[in-house]
A = this chain, B = another copy of it.
Amino acid sequence: MTEIIVEPSGKIINCEPGQKLSEALSRAGIDIPMPCGGAGTCGKCLVRIIEGHSQPQPAETKLLTKEQIAMNFRLACQTTVTGDMRIRLTESRDSLPHQILTDSSTNGRRHIFAAVKKTYVELPEPSLEDGRSDLRRLCEAVCQKDCKPPKVGLKTLRRLPAVLREAQFKGTATVCQNKLIDFEPGDTTDNCYGVAVDIGTTTVAAAILDLTNGDRLAVDSALNPQVKCGDDVVSRINYCGSEPEGLKTIQTLIVNCMRTLIQNLCEKTGVQPDNIYEVTIAGNTTMEQLFTGVDPKSIGEMPFVSTFSRGLLLEAEDFALPVNEAARVYLFPIIGGFVGGDTSACILSSEIYNEKECVLMVDIGTNGEIILLAGGKLYAASTAAGPALEGARISKGMRAAAGAIDRVNIENDDIAFTVIGGAEPVGICGSALIDAIAILLEINVMNQTGQMISPENSDGLPPKIAARITKGDNGQSEFLIAQTPQGEKITLTQKDVREFQLAVGAIRAGVNIMLKKAGVGFEDVSKMLLAGGFGSFIRRSRAQRAGLLPLEIDREKIDYIGNASLAGAELGLLSIKARDLIDSICGKIEHIELSLDTDFQMEFASAMIFPG
């Protein structure tokens, strides 16, 4: 047995030599992203080998830069464990905007402009000749010449004299945008972390980042527990107005959920909550406002006005999050109406604002957001797609977590599938739902209107396929995708198809109206970006077949960019310049209120028909 020490947590795992490193990590319960399924093509499982050796494999020399190879960066899926190792988990940030975080003059090293900075200092001890106060002594050592002296909070001030003396005037000062927020004995400059959160209507995702180098150390996600108060934003707003203490209840649910996620991230990585200094949040208008505990009533009524819109800095203490007591919470700016901070975060991470030509971006969630860049101007709209693509309202739906079927294929005239984490299937997530719909249309199990054939009419189908079509309790057809070892059937029902049609129809109708408003057509679109936390990368052909992506746009022009909202929240954590940038961009975006458009209902109805 060999031993692998996994940093930053320091966890020790054991495995048989000859195993792939990715496999060893996975068996030990350490999830690393591997959307390419271990083919060595996506680069998401990047690790750094600190001790031990691994000969670079062809896939690695192809994907990684020479500098990365030289610095012992490797892909966990390509690395064979041959002896004891010490590795550091990390993640490639190739998808993040280069303009903000990288500088080509420094060999591609990212520039971090985090709000929080830790500095180790060794101070001269006070003497009769040098009677400066504790705070001044510290600040003059931390500040660059001529900078303003940091402010300080009362709690930090009260701790300062004792800590300074216990530490013999050697320690680490934490300064957050000109405020001294902590002083710790010894050199703790490496322990500087932040958490980025994407609060979706249905799914909440969080990532913990090392603010000294920008590395993402772990991610976690959970169902938004507010779903029990309503599964879309309007029903949650109504809940606040109709239930006694409704706002408080619904706020507590999301705050508790974030608390659990942050605790999980700390456990996964060994990071101390005290060393988390900032939390950035990207959520739609309603999600952000509910998090703050501000009554969302005015968002739900004409003319759909939120209480705040610019990027907002609050105290983490007001939410009792398990982070440093002086930590802050940054909420991404709201664009208008229901188009909120998740969209601004998507705009930030996708860099759509930098494009020259016409670009369309769709962020799929329970609230679907559509962003269009046309004629140098940004337009944004929101459409109630419903939670189908996040697995809710789908009979066997689930979010993209271990046990979710994330891919469905036809192999040997039968259905084949893959499961996240390689485990037994439990349900079906968004990417597999798109696959399944596309396949059922392709193999004629379903027609253009979404009507499934009944078992008695399945004669022309391959026998294994035909056998999967049954009648449910309600007398409607359903299609068997998988069966759990316990014999539970994972099927796609007629009602599931209808939910999917509603989601896709809302988005396509929105896209059509946005293009019309901006006076452009599909032929003008140079690029289309699809964002969302479905699970695997979705196949563009399947998404077009299932009606999610317009057939009118050439397949090569379409890119799936993953959870761009979370990526934006991470950027906001790493760069206060990025926050200023998105705040100023948001001030210039034209918000289009789709619900007020007279054509919307008609567009919606026709968009529910699958492409022929």
Contact = CB atoms under 8 A, between A and B. Distances in A.
A326 to B, nearest CB: 13
A467 interface: no
Given A292-B157, A305-B126, A318-B154, A310 B131 contact: no
Given A158-B295, A297-B161, A596-B128, A135 B308 contact: yes
A336 interface: yes
A307 B134 contact: yes
B152 A303 contact: no
Interface residues of A, number: 47
A609 interface: no
Interface string A462-492: 0000000000000000000000000000000
A518 interface: no
A314 B596 CA distance: 48
Contact of A334 (B133, B307, B310): B133
Contacts of A305: 126, 131-134
Nearest to A155: B318
Contacts of A185: none
Given A133-B334, A149-B310, A303 B127 contact: yes
A1 interface: no
Nearest to A165: B298
A570 B500 CA distance: 67
Contacts of A307: 133-135, 157, 160-161
A334 B315 CA distance: 29
A162 interface: yes
Contact of A315 (B131, B154, B295, B302): B154
A314 B154 contact: yes
Nearest to A301: B126
B306 A158 contact: no
Interface in A306-329: 306-310, 312-315, 318
A293 interface: yes
Contact of A308 (B130, B152, B306): B152
Interface in A123-141: 126-128, 130-136
Contacts of A313: 151
Contacts of A303: 126-128, 130-131
A603 interface: no
A94 to B, nearest CB: 34
Nearest to A306: B133
Contacts of A161: 294-295, 297-298, 307
A543 to B, nearest CB: 32
A302 B161 CA distance: 14
B304 A157 contact: no
A450 interface: no
Nearest to A298: B161
A334 B131 CA distance: 12
Interface in A259-316: 292-295, 297-298, 302-310, 312-315
A31 interface: no
Given A154-B318, A158-B292, A294-B157, A132 B596 contact: no
Contact of A135 (B130, B309, B318): B309
A591 interface: yes
Residue from A133, A293, A309, A591 whose CB has the most chain B CB atoms within 10 Å: A133
Interface in A403-426: none
A559 interface: no
Nearest to A151: B313
Nearest to A309: B133
A336 B137 CA distance: 13
Nearest to A337: B131
A593 interface: yes
Contacts of A304: 131
A131 to B, nearest CB: 5
Contacts of A297: 161
A128 B312 CA distance: 24
A321 to B, nearest CB: 13
Given A157-B294, A162-B295, A306 B134 contact: yes
Given A303-B128, A596-B128, A292 B135 contact: no
Given A131-B336, A136-B309, 13 more contacts: A126-B303, A127-B303, A128-B302, A133-B305, A133-B306, A134-B305, A135-B309, A149-B310, A152-B312, A153-B314, A154-B293, A160-B294, A161-B295
9 contacts: A128-B303, A130-B303, A131-B303, A131-B304, A131-B593, A133-B306, A133-B334, A152-B308, A157-B312
Closest 5 pairs (CB-CB, A-B): A133-B309, A126-B305, A135-B308, A133-B306, A128-B303
Interface of A: 126-128, 130-136, 149, 151-154, 157-158, 160-162, 165, 292-295, 297-298, 302-310, 312-315, 318, 334, 336-337, 591, 593, 596
